[in-house]
Copies of this chain bind each other. A is one copy, B any other.
Amino acid sequence: MMRYDHHPSLLHPSTMQKTQSSTPRPYHHGDLRRAIVAAAVDLVRETQSIEFSIRELARRAGVSHNAPYKHFADKRDLLAAVSAEGFGLLASRMAAAVKARSTPRARVSSMARNYVRQGIDNPALYRLMFGGYLTGPQEDRPAIERAAAFNTRALLADAIRDGALGQAMPMTARNERKIDGAILVYWSVLHGLTLLLIDRLVGPAEKADELSESVWEGMIDGLATRIPLLPADAWVGPREPPMKT
């Protein structure tokens, strides 16, 4: 298991070997907030769980068990920052996926593949972002996390608007609503496929690219026109001997 110590710049300075001076330790960390978030992101990736303790983060950062509370109101607030980080990662990957492609359609398709792959590359993080831990019964999501989600959606919208499915669409109000409709379908199917893959309710995850492509084509052409053929060894739903209770 990768130890946090490998990021010396994020450790409490007290644990850094100063070659000469033996000043015991500076009282202040200097950049604790960033260190805590980074440790949390690492921990989520390593353990694929968000059930770590704030105290564990403090331990990894080399500070006392209550230091994080100077930067985060509570655990939910901390996880919101981690989630925002996740939205940042997703957005940058989506942006990168779009850059190399020349045709609008290729851009949207590549974005779809990379969206799904980012999800299955770090399932726990993706689930934190969309898993509703941060969406309380009635209260809104934390602001930092909402803003990050907003940016991600903007990327989706831009790609679809840009692609506009190959047709030139003037920006009328009606066409704007059509764009919204396309985003809704596109996002729903990507989100759903990603989570079904993560939950291993469909698979295999190694064929995620092909499955994305299949779903993407099925969505464009319409199931009434042409149903996508899945890869030969793909499976859909739990394959299960109907166990006897």
Contacts and interface: CB of A to CB of B under 8 A. Distances in A.
Interface string A216-245: 001111111101111010111110101101
A166 B224 contact: yes
Please tell me the size bucket of the interface on A.
35 or more
B132 A234 contact: no
Contacts of A235: 180
A135 interface: yes
A67 interface: no
Contacts of A183: 236-237
Contacts of A15: none
A153 interface: yes
Contact of A184 (B157, B193, B198, B238): B193
A4 interface: no
A185 B131 contact: no
A14 B154 CA distance: 58
Interface in A47-70: 47-49
A195 interface: yes
Given A183-B237, A237-B157, A224 B150 contact: no
A154 B230 CA distance: 18
A48 B144 CA distance: 23
A79 B9 CA distance: 40
A185 B185 CA distance: 11
A35 B182 CA distance: 46
Best-buried of A127, A144, A224 by chain B (most CB within 10 Å): A224
B184 A230 contact: yes
A215 interface: yes
B150 A240 contact: yes
A130 B154 CA distance: 26
A206 to B, nearest CB: 15
A223 B230 contact: no
A91 to B, nearest CB: 13
A192 interface: yes
A165 B237 contact: no
Contacts of A229: 174, 177-178, 181
23 contacts: A131-B131, A132-B198, A147-B240, A147-B243, A150-B237, A156-B237, A165-B224, A166-B224, A177-B229, A179-B227, A180-B236, A181-B218, A181-B228, A184-B196, A184-B218, A184-B230, A184-B234, A185-B218, A185-B219, A185-B223, A192-B193, A219-B223, A220-B223
